[in-house]
């Protein structure tokens, strides 16, 4: 959770799948600004692969590509905005939004943060490291994540879901490390810049009731259509 919060079981719900599609469409549009050909745009290629893995309809994918590249008359321009503050019980939170209307998103975030505390820019960012995040899967049973991290130039790693590994890098090394990992036996599934808490709260230090309140707060934030990622100061 210290790197990125994910709702429990959200990949099983139909509504959550729509949310995943919405996030990927925005990612595709942002990446396509640098070129609509995945073969010539590594960031776009990875996002397109993610979209295909979750069975995004081809029409939806193609429309997002064209809009992002400015090839349609109804191109949409998204702005990246980060909201900082605290969930209940002083758990630090950074919420990354991609929005086409900040005047809509800002008041929505103020309402959502009423059960916590919305801070000003920089109010909690100081307690997070800005890092590169690469999710990768082993290409064979003998692939060693620790050795791969060292050889590829990653700064750290975390065990991920389904046997995958999250490799953490310096922001400037994100692309370099992602290109080096396949030679070390790992297939890159996704890569992005994000935030990791420096001093995360141990969930065991919160009562079950308090932890439930934090989870409910995060779930409400995640349900907002403009929210792209949530980074939380919780360990584990």
**Mean pLDDT highest for which of 20-29, 67-76, 176-185?**
176-185
* pLDDT score, position 204: 93
Sheet holding 165-169, edge to edge: 156-159, 165-169, 128-138, 186-197
The answer to whether residue 63 is domain-embedded is yes
Q: Could you tell me the CATH number of the domain that includes residue 32?
A: 1.10.10.200
The answer to whether residue 131 is domain-embedded is no
Provide the pLDDT confidence category of residue 157 given band limits of 50, 70 and 90.
Answer: very high
Q: What are phi and psi of 81, to 5 degrees?
A: -130, 140
- Tell me the mean pLDDT in the region 195-202: 94
Domain containing 39 equals: 10-68
In total, how many domains does the chain have? 1
6 has pLDDT over 70: no
What average pLDDT is seen over the chain? 89
* pLDDT score, position 158: 92
Radius of gyration, alpha carbons of the chain: 18
12 has pLDDT over 50: no
d(CA 173, CA 171): 5
Provide the pLDDT confidence category of residue 4 given band limits of 50, 70 and 90.
Answer: low
Contact 233, 93 (CB under 8 A): yes
Which range has the worst mean pLDDT, 68-72, 87-91, 137-141?
68-72
The answer to whether residue 57 is domain-embedded is yes
The answer to whether residue 16 is domain-embedded is yes
The answer to whether residue 116 is domain-embedded is no
**Residue labelled with tokens 């640098």:** 34
The answer to whether residue 35 is domain-embedded is yes
Q: Residues of the chain with pLDDT > 90: what percent?
A: 61
The answer to whether residue 127 is domain-embedded is no
* pLDDT score, position 11: 47
Of 213, 4, 198, 1, which is closest to residue 89 (Cα–Cα)? 213
Contact 48, 80 (CB under 8 A): no
20 has pLDDT over 60: yes
The answer to whether residue 117 is domain-embedded is no
Q: SS3 for 60?
A: helix
Which range has the worst mean pLDDT, 73-87, 98-112, 190-204?
73-87
């Amino acid at each position: 959770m210290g790197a990125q919060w994910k709702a429990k079981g959200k990949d099983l719900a139909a509504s959550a799948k729509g949310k995943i599609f919405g996030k990927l469409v925005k990612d595709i549009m942002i990446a396509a600004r640098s070129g609509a050909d995945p073969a010539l745009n590594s960031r776009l290629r990875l996002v397109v692969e993610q979209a295909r893995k979750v069975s995004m309809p081809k029409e939806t994918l193609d429309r997002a590509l064209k809009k992002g590249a400015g090839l349609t008359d109804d191109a949409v321009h998204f702005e990246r905005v980060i909201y900082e503050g605290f969930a209940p019980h002083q758990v630090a939170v950074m919420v990354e939004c991609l929005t086409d209307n900040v005047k809509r998103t800002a008041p929505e975030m103020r309402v959502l943060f009423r059960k916590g505390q919305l801070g000003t820019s920089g109010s909690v960012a100081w307690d997070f490291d800005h890092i590169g995040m690469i999710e990768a899967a082993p290409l064979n049973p003998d692939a060693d994540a620790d050795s791969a991290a060292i050889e590829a130039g990653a700064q750290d790693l975390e065990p991920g879901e389904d046997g995958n590994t999250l490799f953490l890098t310096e922001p400037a090394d994100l692309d370099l490390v992602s290109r080096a990992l396949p030679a070390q036996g790992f297939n890159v599934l996704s890569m992005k810049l994000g935030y990791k808490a420096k001093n995360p709260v141990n969930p065991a230090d919160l009562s079950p009731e308090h932890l439930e309140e934090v989870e409910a707060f995060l779930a409400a934030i995640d349900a907002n259509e403009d929210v792209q990622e949530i980074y939380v100061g919780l360990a584990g």
